[in-house]
Amino acid sequence: MKIIGITGKVVEVAYKPEYKQDRRFYPKPSEQANVIVEIATDEGLVGWGEAAHSPGIYGENAAQTMAALDYFRPFLVGRDPLQITALNMELDRMSPIGNVAAKAGIDVALHDVVGKALGVPVYQLLGGRVHERLITHISPATYEGTVAQIERLVGQGYRIFKQKGSGDTEYDLALIHSLLDQVSPDVTISIDVNQGWSTLQALRIIEEIERRPTFPTNLIIEQPTRAADFKGQAYIRERTQIPLMADDAIRTVDDLEKIIELGAADIVSLKISRVGGIQKCQQMIHMAEAANVSYIVDEINEMRVANTAVAHLALASRKPLYTGTACWTSLEWDVVKSGGVQLVDGHATLPDAPGLGIEALQFPAEGQESDATR
């Protein structure tokens, strides 16, 4: 079997109205623009992947991914898609540092086509399914209706929330207090600041939260300070009993190694879309497990194709605290027409189908839906 084509399609989907009011620290456009990657083979099999973008944090966008696909294509066409490791090595040889979103989209599409070729789900390529389902977090918008939105989501079975911070001390303190006052202690709140606080600001906020009459055992502080400031995050971690999660800081194996060495996090967030694909993310999961560091298998601005890939990796992992496979629910429209990850009572589950298990995609075209089934 040989690769005969690699193409990309830019898909832009608007966020639901509440997310357009979001006060999160990093800039977020009103529409999410990702690239659906398609790898075609000479045996008629097609694999799908997704390159997800967060320009406000990582700087890559859909246009750059399309250019990267043009750059990578000559080095991949004619190769055997079963050789996923060799092909990922080739991508890193051609682009040692950048084009992470494109690499992730290609890697996911390769896993999809190989799973289809062998007649097994992607999770079987990753060591087999460990969990039938896994609890997933979900991200409410950060706006005046946050508490009401969380209450609705709790009613749907969700118990873990990635709540974005604004970077403003008083706003974030008020938000954290209101959430802790109104949600049940069995509901976990991860305050994801996305680098929005300084070290002193983080310490001030954490110290006030720790002085509450009842210690907030259901709270996590996620990426409070600058991603590159590993020592600063280690300094904060030494001074709080609230679990600290590293997120934006982890883009490479070297980043994760530094965090582990410095003791800069209680939990690490590991993301296919941020590190360059399933294979690299699984390598980082094994590093965290070897170091006895807790981890989650996470998402970033993903539509349902990438979220499905996250679910496969999470369900094949030994002991993730939880996963993140619900980004697509914040969008007004779903690129997956049938198949893929399902969210049931706040948990992620997958069909027992070859590859990613996505049966059909749909794309907007001049106001109409067009189908793609492979």
**Best CA proximity match to 34, nearest among 303, 215, 270:** 303
Beta-bridge mates of residue 296: 269
Domain 3-121+368-373: CATH architecture, name and number where available: 2-Layer Sandwich (3.30)
Determine what percent of the chain falls in helix, strand and coil, rounding each to the nearest 5: 40, 25, 35
Q: Rounded to the nearest 10 degrees, how much is the dihedral formed by the CA atoms of 121, 123, 129, 132?
A: -70
pLDDT of residue 374: 55
Inter-residue contact 250 to 280 (CB < 8 Å): no
In 239-318, alpha helices (H): 253-262, 272-275, 278-290, 304-315
**Predicted local distance difference test score (pLDDT) of residue 27:** 80
pLDDT at 29: 86
The pLDDT value given to residue 365: 65
125-360: CATH number: 3.20.20.120
Token pair of 239 as six digits: 């001074």
For residue range 158-202, list pLDDT tens digits in order: 999 999 999 999 999 999 999 999 999 999 999 999 999 999 999
**Kind of pairing, strands 188-192 and 160-164?**
parallel
pLDDT below 70 — which residues of the chain? 365-374
* Cα angle: 29, vertex 301, 345; to 5 degrees: 125
DSSP summary character for residue 359: E
The predicted structure's pLDDT at residue 370: 40
pLDDT at res. 247: 97
Q: Which residues pair with 32 in a beta bridge?
A: 13
Asked if 122 contacts 278 with a C-beta cutoff of 8 angstroms, the reply is yes
Name beta bridge partners: 344: 347
Give CATH 3.20.20.120 domain extents, the chain: 125-360
Q: Where in the chain do CATH 3.30.390.10 domains reside?
A: 3-121+368-373
How many other C-beta atoms can be found within 10 angstroms of the C-beta atom of residue 332? 12
